[in-house]
Each structure stands twice: as structure tokens, then as C-alpha cells.
Amino acid sequence: MTKDETTKAIERTGNKVIKEKIKSQVLEDKREGVSEIKESNDKELEGPGQENKTKSEEKKVVKEIKKEEAFVRAYNIPISTKHSSAISKFIKGKTIERARKDLEDVIKFKKAVPMKGEIPHRRGKIMSGRFPQKAVKNFLVLLKSLEGNAANINVPVIVESIANIGERPYGKFGRVRKKRTHIYIKVVEKSKLKEINKKPKRKSK
């Protein structure tokens, strides 16, 4: 081999070594970049997870507020005010379950709603009464919704049951005025009945 050939061969080997070094450096740089990206992604994933944990802990701390009373209102129901006032007296002081049972018995003609006036006498402890079907069905609907409102109350008892005359519209040609009634039913926990029934004593002069 001549000198020129030997010098060319040395240059080729040198170039190959340099190229291999460059490739190795590039690969190392890439690996370092991938590792940095993974670390940043892990940090990002850890962040919202911790926030969710704190939120869940805060939710656990929040306590359920117990209701002390619940009520139902209904306006301008097409039923008799006289019947609804009698039913409201019949319901007052009973639990929702007991009141619903009694009203279902009224629909089945097993129990009468006590009423005053020239009304025929019925069997049982009452003197006179009737079986107002339409009014009782409307009251059952209201008691069902009241039961849903009083879901968080232990042993709800009906404290108030009021029936008032509503806005009575005129019928055909203005000859007849139709029946309309407002109803309000209120429920309180049984344990707090004593506090409600306590009346302030009058001061003696």
C-alpha cells in the first residue's frame, strides 16, 4: 500500500469513530429527554389526583342537615271547603302513615269523617259523618308528597292542617260559582311536640 492509501484508510476509520460517537450522544440525549417528559407527566397526573382527594375529604366533612319540619301547600283545588275542613280536623295529630290508612278506609266506606250539621249518624264512636270521596283522594295525593318532603324527619306528626276558601270562578253564563279550596298541611318531628304544646303561663296580677 502506498502512503496515500494508508492516509485515506486512517481518515475513513476516524470518520467512522466520530460518527459512532455522535450517534451515541444523540441517543443519550433522546433518552434523557424522554425521562424528563415522563417525570413531568407523572407530576401532572399527581396534581389533579391530590385535588380530587381533598375535595372528597371536604365532602365527607359536610354533615347532612336534619329537617325539623315539612309542609305542603295546594291552591284552588276543585273540592268542597266544608269537606276539606272536616278532613283536616280528622287528620290533625296523627302520623302520615296513620292518616293515609284512615283516609283509605274512608274511600272503602269502612270509616266515616265526622261532620257537624244535619248529617246522618254512622257506626262507631262518632255521632254523624260522611264519606267525601273526591276530597279524600286529593288529600291522599298531598299526603304522599308530604311524606317525600318529610323523608329526613323521624316519626313526622301532623301539627297543622288548614283549609280555606279559594278563588271561586263563575260557571257557564255566570249562574254558578265553582268550589275551590286552599290546603296547607304541616308536619313536625314527634320528639318536638312537647315544645310546641308548651304555652307561656299568664302572669298573675
SS3 for 54? helix
SS3 for 78? coil
pLDDT tens, 55-112? 555 555 445 567 788 999 999 999 999 999 999 999 999 999 999 999 999 999 989 9
Q: Which three cell numbers stand for residue 28?
A: 443519550
Q: What pLDDT is recorded for position 4?
A: 55
Each domain of the chain, given as residue ranges in start order, spans: 1-38, 69-197
Rounded Cα distance, 53 and 61, in Å: 13
Pick the more confident residue, 161 or 202. Answer: 161
Q: How far is CA 27 from CA 20, 30, 33, 37, in A?
A: 11, 5, 10, 15
pLDDT tens, 15-67? 555 667 666 766 676 666 555 555 555 555 455 555 555 555 555 544 556 77
If pLDDT is split at 50, 70 and 90, which confidence band does 183 have? Answer: very high
Portion of the chain with pLDDT greater than 90, in percent: 42
Q: What pLDDT is recorded for position 56?
A: 57
User: Looking at the domain that runs over 69-197, which CATH code has it been given?
Assistant: 3.90.470.10
Answer yes or no: is pLDDT of 154 > 80. yes
Average pLDDT, the chain: 78
If pLDDT is split at 50, 70 and 90, which confidence band does 3 have? Answer: very low
Q: Say which residue the cell 366533612 belongs to.
A: 61
pTM across the whole model: 0.63
Q: What pLDDT is recorded for position 32?
A: 63
Q: What pLDDT is recorded for position 119?
A: 83
Give how far the C-alpha of residue 49 lies from the chain's centroid of Cα atoms, to the nearest Å: 29
Q: What pLDDT is recorded for position 152?
A: 87
Answer yes or no: is pLDDT of 155 > 50. yes
Rounded Cα distance, 189 and 89, in Å: 19
> Average pLDDT of 181-204?
78
Answer yes or no: is pLDDT of 134 > 50. yes
Portion of the chain with pLDDT greater than 70, in percent: 64
Rounded Cα distance, 141 and 162, in Å: 16
Q: For the chain, how big is the Rg over CA atoms in Å?
A: 42
If pLDDT is split at 50, 70 and 90, which confidence band does 132 have? Answer: very high
